Amino acid sequence: MTSETNGFLNRQTFTKIGYIALQSNKQYLLFIFLLYFGCLSLLAQEDKVTPLIIKAEKDTLTAPLYPEPVVVDSVMRDSLAKDSLNQKPPLLLDQITYKAKDYVKLSQKENKIYLYNEAEIYYQDTELKAGIIIMDYLKNEVYAGRLKDSLGNFTQLPYFKQGSNIVIPDSIRFNFDTQKALIWNSRTEQQAAAGQLGSDAMKVYADITKKENDSVYFLSEAKITTSKDTVNPDYYIRVRKAKFVPKKKVIAGFSNLYIADVPTPIAMPFAYFPLSVGRAAGILMPSFGNDPNTGYFLQDMGYYVPLGDYADVTFTGDFYTNGSYGVRATSVYTKRYKYRGNFNFRYENQVRSQKGFSDYSLTKNYNIQLSHSQDTKASPNSRFSASVNLGSSEYYRNSLQQRNLPNTQNNTLSSSISYSKTFPEYPSVNMSLTATHSQLTSAAATSSNANNITMTLPTFQASMERIFPFAKRDGIKKGAIQNINFQYDVNAQNRLSTNDDDFLTGRMFDNAVVGARHRIPISTNFKVAKFFSVSMGGSYEDVWALETFAKRFDNDSGTVVTDSINGFDRYNQYNLSASIGTTLYGTFDFGEDKKIQAIRHVMRPSLSYGYAPSFEQFYDEYIDGDGDVVQYSRFQGTLNGAPRLGRSNSLSFSLANTLEAKVRDKDSTKLEPKKVPILSNFNISTSYNMESDSLRLSPLNVNGGTNLLNNKMSVNFSAGLDPYAIDNNGRRIETWNIDNGGSLFRLTRANANVSYSISSDMFGKKKDDTKEDEEDDPFDYVAQSGGRTDDLFGRADSFSDNPIRSKDKDEDIENPVYGTQIPWNFRLAYSATYSNPARQNEFSSHSLMFSGDIELSPRWSVGGSSGYDFKNKGFTLTQLRFQRDLKSFSMRFNWTPFGQYKRWYFFIGIDASILSDLKWENRSQPIRN
């Protein structure tokens, strides 16, 4: 129990005696404790140790020299000496655990313990690691510093952690009793949001830091930045004096911005930096500007409010000196494995000119967007989803916000809210309830479609799974009888049409129509002669209406009067069909030594027959003013329309073709040839109406498509070919076009779409794609439900998007792998529609669109998109994009140089969201007539 080793007691003895001395007040235990220190002074080889002085800046601690250093492999627990005569009793509440790699030296004369090389001390929630640590067990203080190696480099900087707060200084002095500390050249990193570190975290550097308590630090000559470069940050905010509350805030005095260690005139007499972990309520700083039409303005001024753990809401507004204003509310909510969604409401009150002037106007536009999706794991048998985009038809075209510029090309806004439920028991039934909305914007609305809004409130659908009454559920079905099956489905709607003025008022229900359609399809299929597939079937429909219409001719007014008949009414109809088809393969071999080894042609001909009787029993008659008998149905004008009048008896023919080649691969190591599509699809179809008195043969429909140049080019086409001729009035006549002096078929319409995409990656060395696809932005911009939110080629044209590619911020872009390669991409699209049903011989649409991006340097990128309309002889919406990555900053300029939406936008600001309000942006406003 009293074994000794070079002046130190055995570890077990040291710990046990110290523990007894701290826990008991009895005299004999105190006597043993004093006896221990007396023996220690006689046995130990006393060295003269010079006290270490903690120095700031570039100085470091110097370790004392020992002739025979002691290696401590295990953790030693220090029990501080208690001197009842001259010393104050220690205030330590727990044991101190410490260790070092090279040695641990106890100096009784100075009441200090020296730890050298990879020294560590643990006390309660405090952790201290450094190259050298000196612990004064009388004052309950520790001094920690770094080491200097033979090359003059500093190593093993102190690492101080208390709770969850971490500080990495050059040197530190800490008192266990008061929990106060004095820190030189401290470095700490604060999270901007839960789980987010790195480029989006606030980094605080200070020459001298005084730790007052667990939550308050005082800083002198501090630097605040979000730059990833911890040695030479590309920018920082210099703070002379500040109060620092970890994970909450920094309150500073006079501060100014430094860029590349150069002071800028951007300064503040005082500053407040929020450092809250996770989400916290706060003010959103606006952008300033001036516009000749609206005056001076503040845009995007607002307030952010978190709502619990799963949702938040942002209120923003725009204010203009001429009286215009706009308000917005945005909410995003999500719960893992349950649901996610967002809600946007935008309202703008736009004032033009001044009251009393002829050009004065006041318009009020709004837009509502809603998106909700449910995780399939939350409820496998039921699902609720919503995608809503509705509002004023003029909202995007007249918006005060330039960010809505890409949406000016939208022709429609549409919405859908649905709930579906599945009953899995046999026979399973699927049911859904849906509300839909479709609205033409001002770009597509004309005088002929004044009712530009169509809604269904709601649509009910239900369907039962396919049932085979003559076959076992788990058995193999053979023959025509066992393959007989039927289903049941119903569709019921309440449909209404309205306009912008009556929308969301009681008047929008004035033209509502209600109806339902029940359908039972029956079919079977079987093989004939092994190679022919035959299918036969029929369909029965029962149509319901709650309002019908009776027509009569009024001799007094000379017009046809339509009377509404309220009440339930119905009609039924049915049809029969049969088809036979097969697949033919043809292969042309040219030899394995040829470049093109073989060509394969696959044809799928199909012949169909359809029959539907006439249902005259649901038709009535009236005599018009000329004495002619007019036949009509009381179901005309209802939701599902009138039943068929006239028998249908027709044959249809279709032929689907695919053509591909087997080509020897350029890589000689590959044994298998590759397949190259020549025609991905080429389809021909027509029909013959046996009940028609004339013009029985329908026009020939042709469509197809293929990919060329190793899938870089996509080609799609379609055409209509009419075998009949037309008269001078453009009407089809019972004369073959070839007999009328023309060709075998007359081209009535044609459409072609060609797209071509190419990039620098196609010409460089191929790299293994090891990077997984990134997750989508939780904020689902729901405007896609109502139209395009992208540019001409389907890519979002937001001002914040990277115009070249999504690039990892940690990527070494200063030294790219291929320094001589300039990344670029180019996309080209051509579209033409030809119309000639009655010798118009004109292009209804004819345009060429193009878009491209170039990365001039690792941090410079430019791009643009435009197009030329050959029909209207003018350029389409043209946009140019410029972007510069300034490491911690981003700078971008977007410009629409001409046209109706001529404008520009400039932005420069810090990327990190925690300092996103440190920015400058300017934009032009649209020129309005």
**Interval 825-861: pLDDT, tens:** 999 999 999 998 888 888 888 999 999 999 888 888 9
Rounded mean pLDDT, 376-395: 84
31-53 burial, b if ≥16 CB within 10 A, otherwise e?
eebeebeeebeeebeeeebeebe
How far separated are the first and last CA of the chain, in Å rounded? Answer: 100
- Please write the tens of the pLDDT for every residue from 419-444: 999 998 888 999 999 999 888 775 55
Least confident of 68-77, 181-190, 485-494: 68-77
pLDDT digits (tens, 9 = 90+) for 646-698: 899 999 999 999 999 998 877 767 778 888 889 999 999 999 999 888 889 99
Q: What is the pLDDT of residue 67?
A: 33
Q: Which helix (H) or strand (E) holds 482?
A: helix 479-482
171 vs 134, 145, 167, 294, CA distance in Å?
Answer: 11, 4, 10, 58
pLDDT at 542 (0 to 100): 96
Greatest Cα pair distance, the chain, in angstroms, is 139
- Are 599 and 659 a contacting pair, CB within 8 Å? yes
The pLDDT of 65-85, averaged and rounded, is: 36
pLDDT band (50, 70, 90) for residue 408:
low
CB atoms within 10 A of CB 302: 19
How many helices (DSSP H) and strands (DSSP E) are in the chain?
A: 3, 55
Give me the pLDDT at residue 594, please. Answer: 84
Q: Compute the distance between CA of residue 333 and CA of residue 9 in angstroms, rounded to an integer.
A: 63
- pLDDT at position 460, please? 95
Quickly tell me which residue has 């942006």 as its tokens.
Answer: 921
pLDDT for 448: 45
pTM of the model: 0.61
Mean pLDDT along residues 544-570? 91
Of 211, 216, 205, 214, whose CA–CA distance to 238 is shortest?
Answer: 205
Parallel, antiparallel, or unpaired: how do β-strands 453-467 and 429-440 relate?
antiparallel
Confidence bin at 485 (pLDDT 50/70/90): very high
DSSP strands (E only) in 590-624:
596-612, 619-623
Is 772 a residue whose pLDDT tops 90?
no
* Residue range 521-532: mean pLDDT, rounded: 92
Between residues 647 and 816, the one the model is more confident about: 647
Q: Which of 735, 738, 699, 736 is nearest to 719 (CA)?
A: 699
Integer angstrom CA distances of residue 274 from 245, 302, 323, 914: 10, 16, 33, 8
Confidence at 261, pLDDT banded by 50, 70, 90: confident
Identify which has the larger pLDDT, 123 or 584: 584
d(CA 911, CA 809): 11
To the nearest 10°, the Cα dihedral for 782, 787, 789, 795?
Answer: 110
What pLDDT shows up at residue 703? 95
Q: Distance between CA atoms of 492 and 461, rounded to whole angstroms?
A: 7
Confidence at 911, pLDDT banded by 50, 70, 90: confident
**How much is the pLDDT for 40?**
38
Least confident of 17-26, 632-641, 876-885: 17-26
Q: 811 pLDDT exceeds 80?
A: no
Task: For CA atoms 203, 208, 211, 212, give the dihedral sign.
Answer: negative
Residue 296 banded pLDDT, cuts 50, 70, 90: confident
Query: Residue 409: which pLDDT band, with cuts at 50, 70 and 90?
Result: low
Mean pLDDT computed over 286-297:
77
Inter-CA distances, 906 with 879, 899, 902, 923, 928, Å: 13, 19, 14, 6, 21
Q: What percentage of the chain carries pLDDT values higher than 70?
A: 78
The pLDDT, as a whole number, for residue 847 is 93
Selected residue with higher pLDDT from 52 and 520:
520
Residue % of the chain over a pLDDT of 90:
29
Confidence of residue 160 (pLDDT cuts 50, 70, 90): confident
Which range (110-119, 435-444, 835-844, 903-912) has the least confidence? 435-444
Mean predicted confidence (pLDDT) in 388-407 = 71
* Window from 35-39, 635-639, 669-673 with minimum mean pLDDT: 35-39
Burial (CB < 10 A; 0-12, 13-18, 19+), residue 849, is: buried
DSSP H or E segment with residue 173? strand 171-175
- Mean pLDDT, range 707-736, rounded to an integer: 89
- Winning range, highest mean pLDDT, from 459-468, 728-737, 759-768: 459-468
pLDDT (mean) for 866-895: 88
User: What pLDDT score does 125 carry?
Assistant: 83
Decide: residue 770, CB within 10 A, 0-12 exposed, 13-18 middle, 19+ buried: exposed
Mean pLDDT of the chain: 78
Task: Please list the alpha-helical segments (H only) found in 5-151.
Answer: 11-23, 27-43
pLDDT at 467 over 60: yes
pLDDT of residue 76 exceeding 50, the answer is: no
Least confident of 81-90, 470-479, 531-540: 81-90
Q: Report the range of poorest mean pLDDT among 177-186, 312-321, 774-783, 904-913.
A: 774-783
Examine the pLDDT at 784 and tell me if it is beyond 80: no
Q: How do residues 52-62 score in pLDDT, each as one tens digit?
A: 333 333 333 44
28-32, 99-103, 602-606, 902-906 — which one is most confidently predicted on average? 602-606
pLDDT value of residue 277:
63
Q: Is there a contact between 158 and 171 (Cβ–Cβ < 8 Å)?
A: yes
Q: Quote the pLDDT of residue 923.
A: 73
What pLDDT does residue 313 have? 92
- pLDDT beyond 50 at 33: no
Q: What is the pLDDT of residues 580-610, one digit of tens each?
A: 999 999 999 888 888 888 999 999 999 999 9
Mean pLDDT of 110-119: 89
**pLDDT number for residue 664:** 84
Mean per-residue pLDDT, 183-194: 70
Model confidence at 793, pLDDT cuts 50, 70, 90, reads very low
